[in-house]
């Protein structure tokens, strides 16, 4: 936002596109001069006072759209790829975290008596609440969590068992400090289908499908247990 040469008309066109596109989320940044870059000496630098004003207007628009789009998810049943380390309050709220097929962050409750899914497994949940920047899926009374165990989850178990001599995560609490470097690195990143499928291929000797769309049969075959 605010790159040299950006006019009022350009900005209003950006606002129009965002309104019509209705992105679930957007990463937006303010342009600032960096010495030694070609843009630093370009003509028509946008005044410093104008850049944050435009930025704040754009952020306000996107936050409104994000909330509206999240609220439209309430009541929907969605599949999540279980991740690790993305829910900063998971321990306090007794929830786990995963990513929906459109990459929305979803914190979900583990019903009492349900098996605990592993990072890389797929769970099916129903969205119950919709804050602006994530979704919540609290469990219905008496309902068990629906889990599809995957080869990525199997690879997670093997990595822990082989490197730390500890039982699978369903029987022990995972400690990232004891995990191998590759596992610790992955736990600090968004658990995408591509990274988990590649990880599974390294542990199983298979090659992940090139098609990484969440719902694709190729990726499902890659992640599904044999």
Buried b (16+ CB within 10 A) or exposed e, 113-137: eeebbbbbbbbebbbbebeeebbbb
Q: CB–CB of 70/135 below 8 Å?
A: yes
Class of domain 8-71: alpha beta
Structure confidence by residue, pLDDT tens digits, 93-117: 788 999 999 899 999 998 888 899 9
Identify which of 158-167, 191-200, 208-217 has the greatest average pLDDT. Answer: 158-167
User: Tokens representing 156?
Assistant: 């997670």
Q: CB–CB of 190/83 below 8 Å?
A: yes
The architecture in CATH of the region 77-148 reads Beta Barrel (2.40)
Residue 51 scores a pLDDT above 60: yes
Residue 171 scores a pLDDT above 60: no
Residues paired with 99 in a beta bridge: 81, 105
Residue 65 scores a pLDDT above 90: yes
pLDDT for res 165: 56
Least reliable range by pLDDT among 1-5, 65-69, 71-75, 90-94: 90-94
In the chain, % of residues over pLDDT 70: 71
**Backbone angles phi and psi of 184, in degrees to 5:** -60, -40
Ordered DSSP codes for 51-108: HHHHHHHHHHHHHHHHHHHHHTTTT-EEEEEE-SS--TTHHHHTEEEEEETT--EEEE
Q: CB–CB of 183/155 below 8 Å?
A: no
26-50: average pLDDT: 92
Greatest Cα pair distance in the chain: 65
Residues paired with 79 in a beta bridge: 124
Mean pLDDT across the chain: 78
Q: How far apart are CA 153 and CA 85, in angstroms?
A: 15
Structure confidence by residue, pLDDT tens digits, 71-95: 999 999 999 999 987 888 877 778 8
Q: How far apart are CA 114 and CA 148, in angstroms?
A: 13
Sheet containing 135-137: give its strands across: 135-137, 105-109, 95-100, 77-82, 122-126, 146-148
In this prediction the pTM is 0.64
Residue 207 scores a pLDDT above 70: no
Q: How far apart are CA 176 and CA 182, in angstroms?
A: 11
What are the structural domain ranges in the chain?
8-71, 77-148, 151-223
């Amino acid at each position: 936002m605010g790159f040299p040469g950006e006019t009022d008309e350009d900005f209003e066109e950006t606002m129009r596109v965002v309104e019509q596109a209705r992105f679930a989320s957007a990463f937006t940044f303010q342009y600032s001069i960096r010495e030694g870059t070609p843009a630093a000496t370009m003509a028509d630098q946008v005044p410093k006072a104008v850049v944050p004003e435009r930025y704040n207007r754009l952020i306000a628009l996107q936050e409104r759209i994000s909330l509206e789009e999240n609220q439209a998810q309430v009541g929907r049943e969605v599949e999540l790829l279980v991740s690790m380390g993305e829910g900063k309050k998971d321990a306090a709220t007794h929830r786990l975290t995963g990513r929906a097929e459109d990459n929305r962050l979803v914190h979900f409750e583990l019903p009492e008596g349900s098996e605990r899914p592993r990072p890389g497994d797929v769970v099916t949940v129903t969205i119950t609440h919709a804050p602006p920047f994530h979704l919540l899926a609290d469990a219905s009374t008496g309902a068990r969590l629906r889990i599809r165990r995957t080869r990525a989850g199997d690879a997670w178990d093997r990595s822990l068992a082989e490197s730390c001599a500890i039982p699978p995560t369903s029987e022990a609490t995972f400690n990232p400090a004891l995990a191998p470097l590759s596992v610790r690195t992955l736990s600090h990143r968004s658990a995408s289908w591509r990274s988990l499928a590649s990880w599974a291929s390294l542990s199983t000797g298979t090659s992940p499908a090139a098609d990484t769309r969440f719902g694709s049969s190729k990726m499902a075959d890659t992640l599904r247990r044999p």
